[in-house]
Chain A
Amino acid sequence: MQLKKTDLTGALKILAADASVFVPGEIEGIKRFVLWDGESDVDLGGANTQLPPKDILFPCTEKMYNYKMGDSIEIKEIVEKPRQVIFGIRPCDMRSIDCMDHVFLEKGFVDSYYSRKRENVTLIAMGCTTPERTCFCDSMGLDPNNAPNADVMMNDGGDTLVLEAYTEKGKAVLEALNGLLSEGGQAKKDTACTLKVNMTPELPEKLAGMFDHPIWDEVTRACIGCATCTYVCPTCYCFDIDSDNHGAEGTKFRCWDSCMFSDYTRMAGGHDPRPTKKERVRNRYMHKLSYFHERYGQHLCVGCGRCVEKCPAHMDITMFIDKAAEV
């Protein structure tokens, strides 16, 4: 099916009738997903957003429950099941949701905060047409033209968007948009990344045996230990739990944390098993390229290139991959 680009706003209006629709937009100079305002034009092409849409399903600060202490303790869970649509999410960010699903929904534990949002979200993905010089998703086993776990996959078809439903939720979307759709459409599906990285199938296991390799002394030194790489990463899912306390009552919330912070592994008593940037950067690279693969059979780096683009020290996970493949 195809949708004329001139009908895009009309389509978004239909979707926005009973859900919050998030689209690629810009706030104060930063390209990110924004709540569609009901009228603005949406640009689905160009570079991917600078920030991933991760916080729609996994907010950077999320209230969990309110408490009140008196003769007894009162706890009131905060349950939110917003109906949301992420419109125009790219294949790399779609794969990151796949990674999050593994972490938050599988292996015998379901994270209810995540699952409530996940069940109620509709994911309408958009194939990439103009990869950035830092994009390397196809080296990580992805296809920039396709997101298999999307509800609806869209691809550029010149004057139209070519739509295909992959799930029941997706079929419902196409039905709702039926009046605006027509048969046919030639989708452009030949996008390839220019940056090619030597991510060999053996690397995850090879890295597992390189914990004490001298390579870590070299590749970690430029790091300044900020959390930029982890906070712009679509797949970093660590969080901390804290409270906003006012006398005898307050709110428990969780918020993103970063393994690059010096206090991340600090224990009560002061011992820190990852005392310097060497151990911290090693952990990040290992988690992205080896540990996660061992547990879930896929990479935790989806090749979006955001950390490469934003690292203040110009550290580059792709250079590390190439180097590690060679040694």
Chain B
Amino acid sequence: MSSIIEELQSTVKKLLEDGTVGYVIGWGATRFPDRTTPVFITRPEDAHKLVWNHYCVNGTAKYALDDRYPEKKIGIIIRGCDSRAVNRMIQDNQLKRENLYLIGIPCDGKENPVCEGCQHKNPLVYDVLIGTPVEEKINPDRFKEVAEFEKLSQDEKYEYWAKQYDKCIHCYACRNVCPACNCKECYADQYRVGWQGKQNNRNSNQVYGLTRAFHVGDRCIECGECERVCPMGLPIMRQTKKMLKDINDLFGDYECGLNDSRPHVLGEFDLQDRDEFM
């Protein structure tokens, strides 16, 4: 681990020194040893502030959206999931590849339950790779939880989600953190009487949950950020997983963000498409 962190810091230092990048997004220390926070390194002499450990859980890629017209390339330290987030946002026309310098780092799984099922620990796209690739594992249980949940009756499912959304505090962390939630203006931020507002009640909360899930729909990269950030512990990924499962059942193998060009399943039309569900 220590040589990887040295390699990471010296690479970042060099990229800042030679002007390849304007700044680098990575992880830095907090007050607590088991928690890191996203940091933005602008000066070569600050590269030592970067950390790489079991607690680097925050996604790094979405921060690039804060700076759509950078003077110099934005350096982003990316794990497998972050690389898929980059692909997601390039495919959604939110980021330009030429504005990014991707510092890939194979990931051994972090303090985050979603990492257990991760099928892409190695970055899928990068400009430089730190360390050596790790072994990838197919996760046979990718949709196991959803399959179990599908067995419940409609009423049971409703009851389950109603209880969950009764907890939702409308913080919109699940939206703000999601690399697939990249609309310029979210429908939930538009103001109109009778529209999605800030009132907290079962209807409004569930409408938000449903709409978010559908808007992410076939573009979810399964990074698990929505679920990690939810302060109320809602199992949000179960919704997008359900849609991905249906897509897999109907249209064959489908995973998002593996490259930056594959069309979305729900965004293309083919006369051969299955339509018995319509």
Interface residues of A (CB under 8 A from B): 27-30, 50-51, 60-61, 133, 195, 218, 221-222, 224-228, 231-232, 240, 242-245, 253, 255-258, 261-263, 276-277, 310, 312-316, 318-319
Contact = CB atoms under 8 A, between A and B. Distances in A.
Interface in B179-216: 189, 191, 193-194, 197-201
Given A60-B169, A312-B177, A262 B30 contact: no
Interface string B89-100: 000000000000
A310 B173 CA distance: 11
B42 to A, nearest CB: 9
B200 A60 contact: yes
Contacts of A319: 30-31
Interface of B: 30-32, 35-40, 58, 62-63, 66, 163-164, 166-167, 169-173, 176-177, 189, 191, 193-194, 197-201, 228-229, 231-233
A263 B171 CA distance: 13
Contacts of B62: 224
A316 B39 CA distance: 13
Given A60-B169, A226-B176, A319-B30, 11 more contacts: A27-B167, A61-B200, A222-B37, A224-B176, A225-B176, A226-B171, A231-B169, A242-B197, A255-B200, A277-B66, A314-B58
B111 to A, nearest CB: 12
Contacts of B200: 60-61, 255-256
Given A30-B232, A313-B38, A221 B63 contact: yes
A313 B37 contact: yes
Contacts of A312: 58, 173, 177, 228-229, 231
Contact of A314 (B30, B166, B233): B30
Nearest to A221: B40
A32 to B, nearest CB: 9
A312 B173 CA distance: 7
B40 A61 contact: no
A318 B31 CA distance: 9
Nearest to B39: A222
Contact of A232 (B31, B166, B193, B231): B231
B193 A133 contact: no
* Of B32, B39, B62, B176, most A-chain CB atoms within 10 Å: B176
Q: Which of B66, B167, B194, B231 is packed against the most chain A CB atoms within 10 Å? A: B231
A227 B39 CA distance: 20
Contacts of B189: 261-263
B139 to A, nearest CB: 25
B38 A221 contact: yes
Given A222-B37, A242-B198, A310 B191 contact: no
Given A61-B201, A222-B37, A243 B63 contact: no
22 contacts: A28-B163, A28-B164, A30-B233, A61-B199, A195-B31, A222-B37, A222-B39, A226-B173, A226-B176, A228-B231, A231-B169, A231-B171, A232-B169, A242-B193, A242-B197, A255-B199, A256-B198, A261-B172, A263-B189, A312-B173, A312-B231, A315-B37
Contacts of B66: 221, 276-277
Contacts of B32: 133
Contacts of B231: 50, 228, 231-232, 310, 312
A65 to B, nearest CB: 15
A314 B197 contact: no
Contacts of A221: 38, 40, 63, 66
A51 B198 CA distance: 18
Name the residue among A133, A224, A227, A261 with the largest chain B CB count within 10 angstroms: A224
Contacts of B176: 224-226
Contacts of B163: 28
A58 B174 CA distance: 25
Nearest to A224: B176
Nearest to B35: A314
A271 to B, nearest CB: 15
A257 B200 CA distance: 11
Contacts of A243: 193
B118 to A, nearest CB: 19
A253 B63 contact: no
Contacts of A258: 171
Contacts of A51: 169
Contact of B199 (A224, A228, A253): A253
Contacts of A263: 189, 191
In the complex, the 3 A-B pairs of residues with the closest C-beta atoms, listed nearest first: A312-B229, A226-B173, A314-B37
A324 to B, nearest CB: 15
B85 to A, nearest CB: 13
Contacts of B38: 221-222, 313-314
Q: Name, among A61, A240, A315, the residue most crowded by chain B CB atoms within 10 Å (CB to CB).
A: A61
Nearest to B164: A28
A231 B198 CA distance: 12
Contacts of A257: 198
A30 B167 contact: yes
A28 B164 CA distance: 7
Nearest to B201: A61
Nearest to A315: B37
